[in-house]
Amino acid sequence: MSELYHECGIAAVYHMPRRPRSPLCPSQGPDEASRLLPRMLLDIQNRGQLAAGMSTINLRRRRMLDTHKDIGTVSEVFRLSHQGKSESLMRRYAGRAAIGHVRYATCGAEERSYAQPFERQHIEKRKWFSFAFNGQLANYGELRAKLLDGGDRHLSRETDTEIIMHEISREFSGDRRPALIDVMRAVAQRFDGAYSLVFLNAMGDMLIARDPLGIKPLCYAFDGSLFAAASESVALLNLGFPEDQIVSLEPGSAIVISKGELTVERFAEAVPPAHCFFEWIYFANVASTLDDRSVYLTRTALGERLARLERERPLTTIDSDTIVVPVPDTSKAAADSMAFHLGIPSREGLIRNRYSGRTFIDGGEDRRAKAKRKYTPLREVLEGKRVFLVEDSIVRSTTMSVLLDRIRELGGAKEIHVRVACPPILAPCFYGIDMSRVSELFAPPFLSADGLTDRAQAEMADALGADSLRYLPVDALAEAIEKPPEHLCRACVTGAYPTDCGQQLYKFALDKAGQPDDGRTYEIVRS
């Protein structure tokens, strides 16, 4: 699934004053709690590897609120491989509180100015703030058009992050002094889409918020004087917070830290959530727990369902020459589970070059060339074998086609049967995954009004060059995640979107299917 672009990840840390010092605080002292931020970002690096950054607050600095960000991985941006340079950065940006971000570009250019956090400087401290977010505003085009209405305004970037910055700024205009929770109440009325965000201002106030549908994950923990929040629980667990202290923030809720006090408040009415199912099957770290459901257990349940289908409706013989091979790395739990329940070996027949970078980041090569460079088949594992190749999903199919060719030619496999731990992707995502056009997706041309039929899967197998292909049905998702179907966003596999603007964009994307266009769907639509 390396052709599926990542989302982003956010993190925050705050050492609360006038409280007993937490043992989790850095040894350098509470005023350097910001040192924890790069560690947290490393743990959610899986969510974005294009850029990273953090903003910190220190009221004794001339630049009380200051931001460091750049293109690159967390290690590159924070110079973690160079002790002297890393220590210099940590001293320069030392602060009692910090927010951070790892980015992959779902919209906007791949340059430093698009890296987050975004900082807005102002002579008034209450209007000087920095923020970062994970998600995508489906009504980006509409909001952008309204901001530019009048002709004397200008937006310097093609990204909804800048839109959010101006929408927040609007709430502080003039002499208005709204509470942060009221700012969220106001902007939430104008936002359609997914947004988990972290906010820090020059007065030392922090806001952590999750959109009313809870599409993107966000969790937090509090131990004595130390508060921390992140897109995934693994970042908090590795700081030392006990697992039972890590809590998912309720959708439509925000945490506000102001004047040394922490409060959790609602900014939107409670509605049924629409958690992105892709978080469990692909995006999240396998060690994370999201909204009380383990990522690892979800993926093993998907693998068990694959095995069940293979027993009930076999498409090939299973004998002593049959093995299961995961596409590294996120499909390994599903592959291992499938193999276990079928009573056959799971083998690492494909080795991923962990230092080649994500296939969608490098320029100058097409996807096929990048995929060839990224995966190496092991002939000693694959030769003469009937292979069940397990993948998280097939989005554009380029990577899968390359893998099948290489497993046959270099690996010497006699048969390859693709098993996908996800239903077919038939619709774009407008909430933070970079697949916004119907025409870029592999499955839609093969699907008819009858849905996912055996014939459709056979035709897709022929197109890929596989001996057979099987997807999981849509109902397998809720079963594996152990949540009601109506509490999941499954728009990309059903075409039913949880927000009005998402549904409108899908109609537009269907109309544009097969036509030349100049960008992603939500960047084309301006009103």
DSSP letters along 382-423, please? HTT-EEEEEES--SSSHHHHHHHHHHHHTT--SEEEEEESS-
> Could you tell me what percentage of the chain is helix, strand and coil, using 3-state DSSP and rounding each to the nearest 5?
35, 20, 45
Task: For the beta carbon of residue 271, count every other beta carbon within 10 angstroms.
Answer: 12
* Measured distance CA(264)–CA(254) in Å, rounded: 6
Q: Which two tokens stand for residue 155?
A: 């937006």
Instruction: Please give the model's pTM, rounded to 2 decimal places.
Output: 0.93
Question: Tokens 């969510």 belong to which residue?
Answer: 47
Predicted local distance difference test score (pLDDT) of residue 450: 87
Q: Is 125 helix (H, G, I), strand (E, B) or coil?
A: helix
Q: Is 58 helix (H, G, I), strand (E, B) or coil?
A: coil
**Sign of the dihedral defined by the CA atoms of residues 489, 490, 491, 495, in that order:** negative
**397 in the Ramachandran plot: left (φ > 0), alpha (ψ -120 to 50) or beta?**
left
DSSP 519: S
Predicted local distance difference test score (pLDDT) of residue 158: 85
Provide the b/e sequence for 65-77 (b: ≥16 CB within 10 Å). bbbbbebbbbbeb
* Measured distance CA(214)–CA(233) in Å, rounded: 15
Amino acid code (one letter) for 222: F
Alpha helices for 266-366 (secondary structure H): 278, 295-312, 332-342
At residue 104's C-alpha, the angle toward residues 103 and 105, to 5°, is 115
Per-position pLDDT tens, the chain of length 527: 334 444 699 999 999 987 888 889 898 888 999 999 999 999 999 999 899 999 999 999 999 999 999 999 999 999 999 999 999 999 999 999 999 999 985 555 567 889 999 999 999 999 999 999 999 999 999 999 999 987 788 888 888 999 999 999 999 999 999 999 999 999 999 999 999 999 999 999 999 999 999 999 999 999 989 999 999 999 999 999 999 999 999 999 999 999 989 999 999 999 999 999 999 999 999 999 999 999 999 999 999 999 999 999 999 999 999 999 999 988 999 999 999 999 999 999 999 887 665 443 344 456 677 778 889 999 999 999 999 999 999 999 988 999 999 999 999 999 999 999 999 999 999 999 888 789 889 999 999 888 899 999 999 999 999 999 999 999 999 999 999 999 999 999 999 999 999 999 999 999 888 776 545 665 555 43
Predicted local distance difference test score (pLDDT) of residue 522: 54
List the strands of the sheet with 253-258, edge to edge.
118-120, 129-137, 193-201, 206-210, 253-258, 261-266
Provide the b/e sequence for 141-166 (b: ≥16 CB within 10 Å). bbbbeebeeeeeeeeebebbbbbbbe
Q: Is 110 helix (H, G, I), strand (E, B) or coil?
A: coil
Catalytic residues: 8
Strand partners of residue 196: 134, 210
* Phi, psi angle pair for 211, to nearest 5°: -60, 160
Amino acid code (one letter) for 253: S
* Phi, psi angle pair for 109, to nearest 5°: -80, 165
Question: Tokens 């999903």 belong to which residue?
Answer: 393
Predicted local distance difference test score (pLDDT) of residue 104: 81
Task: For the beta carbon of residue 175, count every other beta carbon within 10 angstroms.
Answer: 6
* Measured distance CA(431)–CA(7) in Å, rounded: 9
What are the structural domains, with CATH classification, of the chain? 9-136+193-271 (3.60.20.10), 295-484 (3.40.50.2020)
Amino acid code (one letter) for 186: A
DSSP letters along 418-486, please? EEESS----S---SSSS---GGG-SSGGG-BTTBS-HHHHHHHHHHHT-SEEEEPPTHHHHHHHTS-GG
DSSP 114: G
Greatest Cα pair distance, the chain, in angstroms, is: 76
Q: Is 344 helix (H, G, I), strand (E, B) or coil?
A: coil
Q: Cis omega (within 30 of 0) on the bond before 192?
A: no
The alpha-carbon radius of gyration of the chain (Å, integer) is 23
